[in-house]
A and B are shown apart, each in its own frame.
Chain A
Amino acid sequence: MGKILSDLGIYWTNFIAQVLIFLIVYGILKKFAFGPIQAILEERRKRIEGAEADREKVKAQLADSEAAAEARIAEANETSARLIAEAKVSAAAFGDKERAKASQEAQDIVTKATEATKVERDKQLASLKSEFGKLVISATGKVTGKVLSNDDQDRINKETATQLAN
């Protein structure tokens, strides 16, 4: 056994030295690699998990916001459609009303104009009759050569007016 170990160059002192060196390497890696790296990887993992949770949260919020926005848009569309329909009905009613009002006003204007024309015509006719009566009286007075009394003048006026009316 001793010869085999000696032939292979195995000596207790060297072996113990190599064991110690290996244990020191183990200690170095344990202290400076495994611990810190494990900690930083764990921290990174937690951060990634947190970020992932935040992302899911934001995604859910975004979905909620989109749903709310769509609901609001649908509601606004419905409201606007209703308002447009109401406006159309209202506009139609207003148009009818305004048309009726305009028609009435036009009718009133026509009526008033007709009445005014009639009044003016009657007035002109009365003036014409008066003037014509005066002319007839004047002409009668000059033809007959006498001064006509008030009764004559009234009678001539009435006759003249009657004849003009016919």
Chain B
Amino acid sequence: MFSSLGDFQVTAFQLASVPISAQPLVEQTGLFAALTNSVFVALIVMSIIYFLVRAGTKSPTIIPGPVQNGVEFVFEFLYNQVEQVVGPKVAPRAFPLLCTIFVYILVANWFGLLPGVGTIGIGHEGTQMGFFGLSEEPKIPLLRPATADMNLTLAIAMCSMVVWFYITMREAGPVEFVKHIFAPKGGLTGVMKLVLIPIFLFVGVIEVVSIIFRPVTLSLRLFGNVFAGENLLHAMTTLGDTFGFGPTLSFISKIGFTLPFYFLEILVGVLQATVFALLCAVYIQLSTAHDEEH
């Protein structure tokens, strides 16, 4: 019983075969070592965003066409959402960052669900398909979901924290920022204020620690969700082979087992983009709201 359970666990572990780190496509060391399969996908995502945006805003007209209308709708919708969270004063400064985060993560997440991502690659071991071809298990996948790479999620998180710090210093200033973190809140006066100052100082230290860890939490949350989703899809795709189904049943199972999780991952993609951008917006709102109250 335990033995079979142990075997199952080993098998399940083998199913989740997506490596945790992105793999270099050209060389292991040197300048081009940075060209990993996730960087390659990030470049493709960047190109897609460029062409979409250019198509929508190349020759903007007062009466918009379908593409311009779509781009304007997304823009206006996101701006209104950002304005609701950070307020009308900070929204013009915060919107470019938050919009970029949302759009980039969303397109990257959804691109990662396209057929071929993770399955087209270089060096197919144990197959008859040659160096470059189609297989379930390529040695080096040519395309890896960009957000399933900690380098990308951490890069976005670090950029967002830099912009957060800039907006906070510009809107609230260093003194207000420090007061916002460490000063007693709730309009306390007299003895009660003096008594609670040490507590608020301690809470402020915790707050500083939480701020320092924000890039880590932001990046790990996004990476974890997308990486887990990618593993899930891989596991579902190879589940038929693992169970020893025949070729036909195995092929059907690749679709049948995977399809429900594709819809789940579509939702996860938009959800994670929303969560990341929303949390950044909330961080900005928390540090600038004090200034707006005055």
Q: How many residues of B contact A (CB 8 A)?
A: 45
**Cβ–Cβ contact A19 & B36, under 8 A:** no
Say if the beta carbon of B57 comes within 8 Å of chain A: yes
Chain A nearest Cβ from B218, distance in angstroms = 13
The residue from A7, A32, A37, A39 contacting B54, defined by CB atoms under 8 A apart: A32
Taking CB atoms, residues of chain A closer than 8 Å to B54 are 32
**Cβ–Cβ contact B159 & A21, under 8 A:** no
Chain A nearest Cβ from B61, distance in angstroms = 8
Say if the beta carbon of B15 comes within 8 Å of chain A: no
Chain A nearest Cβ from B285, distance in angstroms = 20
Contact with B along A1-24 (1 / 0, CB 8 A): 000000111110111111101111
Contact with A along B18-48 (1 / 0, CB 8 A): 0111100000000001111011001101100
Given the known interface contacts A13-B33, A17-B34, the answer about A22 and B75 at a Cβ–Cβ threshold of 8 Å is: no
**Cβ–Cβ contact A14 & B34, under 8 A:** yes
Say if the beta carbon of B60 comes within 8 Å of chain A: yes
Q: How many residues of A contact B (CB 8 A)?
A: 32
How far is it, in angstroms, between the C-alpha of A30 and the C-alpha of B98 when the chains are bound? 12
**Cβ–Cβ contact A26 & B96, under 8 A:** yes
Taking CB atoms, residues of chain A closer than 8 Å to B154 are 10, 15, 18
**Cβ–Cβ contact B33 & A29, under 8 A:** no
**Cβ–Cβ contact B75 & A37, under 8 A:** yes
**Cβ–Cβ contact A28 & B49, under 8 A:** yes
Residue of A nearest to B61 (CB): A40
Chain A nearest Cβ from B166, distance in angstroms = 13
Chain A nearest Cβ from B249, distance in angstroms = 35
How many residue pairs bridge A and B at CB < 8 Å?
A: 120
Taking CB atoms, residues of chain B closer than 8 Å to A24 are 46
Which segment of A41-49, A68-76, A87-95 sits at the interface? A41-49
How far is it, in angstroms, between the C-alpha of A29 and the C-alpha of B97 when the chains are bound? 10
Taking CB atoms, residues of chain A closer than 8 Å to B62 are 40, 43-44, 47
Which segment of B1-9, B144-152, B168-176 sits at the interface? B144-152
The residue from A8, A17, A18, A32 contacting B57, defined by CB atoms under 8 A apart: A32
Residue of A nearest to B35 (CB): A17
Task: Tell me which residues from 84 to 135 in chain B have a Cβ below 8 Å from any Cβ of chain A.
Answer: 95-97, 99-100, 103-104
**Cβ–Cβ contact B150 & A8, under 8 A:** yes
Residue of A nearest to B75 (CB): A37
**Cβ–Cβ contact A33 & B57, under 8 A:** yes
Taking CB atoms, residues of chain A closer than 8 Å to B104 are 22, 25
Task: Tell me which residues from 46 to 75 in chain B have a Cβ below 8 Å from any Cβ of chain A.
Answer: 46, 49-50, 53-54, 56-57, 60-62, 64, 71-72, 75
The residue from A8, A23, A33 contacting B53, defined by CB atoms under 8 A apart: A33
Given the known interface contacts A17-B34, A28-B53, the answer about A33 and B151 at a Cβ–Cβ threshold of 8 Å is: no
Given the known interface contacts A15-B154, A32-B54, the answer about A25 and B49 at a Cβ–Cβ threshold of 8 Å is: yes
Taking CB atoms, residues of chain B closer than 8 Å to A15 are 151, 154-155
Given the known interface contacts A9-B22, A9-B149, A29-B99, the answer about A14 and B36 at a Cβ–Cβ threshold of 8 Å is: yes
**Cβ–Cβ contact B99 & A22, under 8 A:** no
Residue of A nearest to B60 (CB): A40
Residue of B nearest to A33 (CB): B53
Given the known interface contacts A14-B149, A18-B155, the answer about A36 and B43 at a Cβ–Cβ threshold of 8 Å is: no
Chain A nearest Cβ from B272, distance in angstroms = 16
A sample of 9 cross-chain residue pairs with beta-carbon separation below 8 angstroms, ordered by A number, consists of A9-B19, A16-B34, A18-B42, A18-B151, A19-B158, A23-B159, A26-B97, A30-B96, A41-B72
Chain B residues near A (Cβ < 8 Å): 19-22, 33-36, 38-39, 42-43, 45-46, 49-50, 53-54, 56-57, 60-62, 64, 71-72, 75-76, 95-97, 99-100, 103-104, 149-152, 154-156, 158-159, 223
Known: A13-B34, A18-B152, A22-B155. 10 other contacts (CB 8 A): A7-B20, A8-B21, A15-B151, A18-B151, A22-B156, A28-B53, A30-B96, A33-B99, A36-B60, A37-B72
Q: Pick the 7 closest A-B CB pairs, nearest first.
A: A9-B21, A18-B155, A13-B34, A14-B151, A19-B155, A17-B34, A36-B57
